[in-house]
Amino acid sequence: MAAITAALVKELREKTGVGMMDCKKALTENGGDLEASMDWLRKNGLSKAAKKADRIAAEGLVAVATDGSTGAVVELNSETDFVARNTAFQGTAGEIAKLAVSVGDDVAAIKAAKMASGTTVDDHLTNLIATIGENMSLRRAALVTANPGVVASYVHNSVVDGMGALGVIVGLKSTGDAEKLAELGRKIAMHIAAGAPAVALSVDVDGVDAAIVDKEREVFAAQARASGKPENIVEKMVEGRIRKFFEEVVLMKQVFVMDPDRTIEKVVADAAAELGTPIEITGFERMSLGEGVEKGPEEDFAAEVAAATGKA
């Protein structure tokens, strides 16, 4: 049996990121065998992670990564915003975003991909849950490509470079100057992040779901008829409202937040004229942290501590 020295405990801690006391216990349980102790910690980490798996994770980070003509945005959740400031969590979010650029936006495929450490994303997250002590979840990922061209990104109120609570990626297909395309793409991404005047649903009119348009027509028609207007006037009113609807939810029809005198369509056309080559927005993704997640009731931390210490 190897002696359980401070150096051995330190080595195990550096390899696993687990606390000193847990490392010492693992080495004691496994006769000082480093590899067996790592396995022991992992097995116990799986147990700890399982207990935390049903806890709601709606905080965390949105991370973006781009590589020329491809870009990805991912959402890595945790239980509290405190964890979003943890460097290990931030490093994980950033590496996952970079993996998504090459792996794609399928969450299962990303979880099965190998990280720089050699472990899969899924196993890495399990170990991180055990180390930090909070449930974590890779909730979603999205990909945009523009070949030839560039994918630009923007993170609003970033915590660290490429990570924050709101991330946007935009693809610009063009043979124009990559640096100028990236600058244009970033400005459009900032516009999308601002959500002004409304969050865009698609790049162009054809991309808006027909069912959504039909529903809006029904609502507008009912409102117009309620005013007592004749049917021919109702039709004109509905078409006018639909045009206004498209101006709100179609990216190309939106008024550019940085220049209210131009639409995004005009901004792109002006840039294409300047570069002397066509520019096409191939797609965009806007990801806001925790959107759509139903959070549980706020926990009373003081009451939880009192209950744990038997002083409730």
Q: What is the pLDDT of residues 191-243, one digit of tens each?
A: 999 986 678 889 999 999 999 999 998 988 888 888 888 888 988 999 999 99
Q: How confident is the model at residue 276 (pLDDT cuts 50, 70, 90)?
A: very high
Query: Cα(253)–Cα(262) distance, rounded to whole angstroms?
Result: 10
Q: What is the pLDDT of residue 98?
A: 98
**Helix, strand, coil content of the chain in percent (nearest 5):** 50, 20, 30
Residue 38 near residue 11, CB atoms below 8 Å: no
* Number of other CB atoms surrounding residue 258 within 10 Å: 13
Q: How confident is the model at residue 249 (pLDDT cuts 50, 70, 90)?
A: very high
Greater model confidence, 145 or 300: 145
- Among residues 244, 222, 216, 252, the alpha carbon closest in space to that of 234 is found at 222
Query: Cα(37)–Cα(30) distance, rounded to whole angstroms?
Result: 6
Q: How confident is the model at residue 295 (pLDDT cuts 50, 70, 90)?
A: low
Q: Which residue has the tokens 């495929």?
A: 109
Answer whether 6-52 and 59-200+280-288 agree in fold.
no
What value does the mean pLDDT take over residues 49-67? Answer: 72
Residue 188 near residue 257, CB atoms below 8 Å: no
Q: What is the pLDDT of residue 304?
A: 45
Q: What is the pLDDT of residue 133?
A: 80
Q: How is 122-170 classified by DSSP, letter by letter?
A: HHHHHHHHHHH-S-EEEEEEEEEE-SSEEEEEEEET-SBTTEESEEEEE
Greater model confidence, 304 or 187: 187
So where are the chain's domains? Answer: 6-52, 59-200+280-288
- Among residues 109, 235, 236, 93, the alpha carbon closest in space to that of 155 is found at 93
Q: What is the pLDDT of residue 118?
A: 94
Topology of domain 6-52 in CATH is Helicase, Ruva Protein; domain 3 (1.10.8)
In 3-state terms, what secondary structure has residue 255? Answer: strand
Q: How confident is the model at residue 291 (pLDDT cuts 50, 70, 90)?
A: confident
Q: Tell me the pLDDT of the chain averaged across its residues.
A: 86
Q: Do you find a cis peptide bond into 197, omega within 30 degrees of 0? A: yes
Percent of the chain predicted with pLDDT > 70: 85
Q: Which CATH number, 3.20.20.80, 3.30.200.20, 3.30.2320.50, 3.30.479.20, labels domain 59-200+280-288?
A: 3.30.479.20
C-alpha count within 13 angstroms, C-beta hemisphere, residue 239: 6
